[in-house]
Amino acid sequence: MAGASVKVAVRVRPFNARETSQDAKCVVSMQGNTTSIINPKQSKDAPKSFTFDYSYWSHTSTEDPQFASQQQVYRDIGEEMLLHAFEGYNVCIFAYGQTGAGKSYTMMGRQEPGQQGIVPQLCEDLFSRVSENQSAQL
């Protein structure tokens, strides 16, 4: 297995209805794999920047060229996990964050076309790969 055994991804979700109604301001920006956060109470301070293996911008709409779809997140994270699982490695993915941060949406998604999360897409690929290769060695 090439590369690190632990990878970290961060995803910025859209504002929810409450945040929109309160005219909330986004304090997060992303450039490549770097995520920066500004303190709205101390906007003169330099932003705090952090680098992750993956930084996904899902705060805006799909028309935004930086927008990370469910499929993009799966292609980057889920496909590699499935590959390593078939190579015989143990794999694990978990979502961490406060309530309402978007963990369930990223992992499970919605039952609408194009809205499936990592887990349903991974299961679909897993069963597809197994049905395509009936030999004893996958």
pLDDT at position 44: 84
Average pLDDT over residues 46-67: 94
pLDDT at 43 over 60: yes
> pTM here?
0.84
pLDDT tens digits, one per residue of 17-39: 999 999 999 999 999 999 999 99
Residue 4 has pLDDT above 70, yes or no: no
pLDDT tens profile 65-82:
999 999 999 999 999 999
d(CA 81, CA 7): 11
Element (H, E) at 17: helix 17-21
Percent pLDDT > 90 in the chain is: 78
| 123 against 114, higher pLDDT | 123
Q: Which residues are annotated as a binding site?
A: 97-104
Annotated binding-site residues for ATP read 97-104
Taken in order 39, 44, 45, 50, is the CA torsion positive or negative? Answer: positive
Residue type, 83: L
Confidence of residue 42 (pLDDT cuts 50, 70, 90): confident
* CB-based contacts of 123, cutoff 8 Å, min separation 6: none
